[in-house]
Amino acid sequence: MTKYVIKRILLAIITAFIILSLTFIFMKMLPISKPAGLPSVVFGFYQRQVALGYVKALSEPSSEYGELLWQYDYGMGTYYYYSTPIMSQYGHWLKNIFTKWDWGTSTDIDPNVSAMSIIAGRLTYSLRINIISVLISVPLGILFGIIAALKKNKLTDHFISTIVMVFISVPSFVVISLLMLWLCFSNSWLPVQWPGETASTGTKIAGYVIPVLALCFGSVAGYTRFTRAELCEVMSSDYLLLARTKGLTKTQSIIRHALRNAMVPILPSIISSFISVLGGSMILEQLYAIPGIGSLFIDAINLKDYNVLMVDMAVFTLISLLAGVLVDLSYGFIDPRIRMGAKN
């Protein structure tokens, strides 16, 4: 067990390293991201890049280093160029991360501010919304799935299945648009966008309603369909029939055997579905002006703020890999028949 856990963690670390390394190299092949703002702000940014080893400052123009990044003429005549090839910049990047935990600074979103601090300030919003939606959608989805399975091929089952197919087919950004139209613009019951820091406590709480509902509809539908399918399969198995012949009632056999076995594939899927919900909230955050890492990811792409984009991708990558490790481990804890780390 211990060896398997260590092996999975090491594999996740290696995978993250490869993904982030390739991402850094590909981003450096994209058009150069030049910072915006006052000359003093831009000057401070390039001086920091010089200190980190990415950029070279010259007192006169030179064709040796390729494209001129920026020229500072206020009594100094400083010309800034990329000082090294991409692979050398990659080496500086790794060195700065492992020795200083420095992932670079923002060029446009918040010039000269650490990309890591920008992500840290936005991450709590995304996690809070997604965790609340998962805590609501998981029990509701499992409950509706159990009801549909117990009422298989009856009116209740057909009704639930129809509603499920509708919500699975409709994207979350369409749901949030309809919710905003109904609850915000038509009736003015809820704020039309994410409340700011100066808003009242009640307004801040109300701001969670629309994004959480938009994420919950699709998640509840997914859990309902999955639970129904697994429970129906278990209920038709031979060992459940054996339990009935031994004197157990239908309710007892379902609670003691059917539900327990149906939960084996369902519970690990809850962990992995959190990643899909987190990824799906990008457009949702953009539409509702939520200052989370999803909307930040889109802003970083549009503004070519590659340092912020790198850290944002690192967060998504690490969360995805961590979820993968937890899913693998959860199978072993839920189903004792699985021999984790055993040799074939």
> Which superfamily does CATH assign the domain made up of 117-334 to?
MetI-like (1.10.3720.10)
Mean pLDDT score, 185-197: 84
Q: Which of 37, 94, 25 is nearest to 306 (CA)?
A: 25
The pLDDT of residue 340: 47
More confident residue, 24 or 144: 144
What is the amino acid identity at position 170? V
Share of the chain above pLDDT 90, in %: 2
Q: Write the pLDDT tens digit of every residue in 199-213.
A: 888 888 888 888 888
Say what the pTM is: 0.74
What percentage of the chain has pLDDT greater than the value 70? 81
What phi and psi, each to the nearest 5 degrees, are found at residue 233? Answer: -65, -45
Q: In what order do the strands lie in the sheet with 68-72?
A: 55-58, 78-82, 68-72
Domain with CATH 1.10.3720.10 in the chain: 117-334
Q: How far apart are CA 331 and CA 117, in angstroms?
A: 35
* pLDDT category of residue 175 using cuts at 50, 70 and 90: confident
pLDDT in tens, 79-107: 666 666 777 778 878 888 888 888 888 87
For 35-66, the pLDDT digits (tens) are 666 677 777 777 777 776 667 777 666 666 66
Q: What pLDDT does 258 receive?
A: 78
Q: What is the pLDDT of residues 274-287, one digit of tens each?
A: 666 566 577 788 88
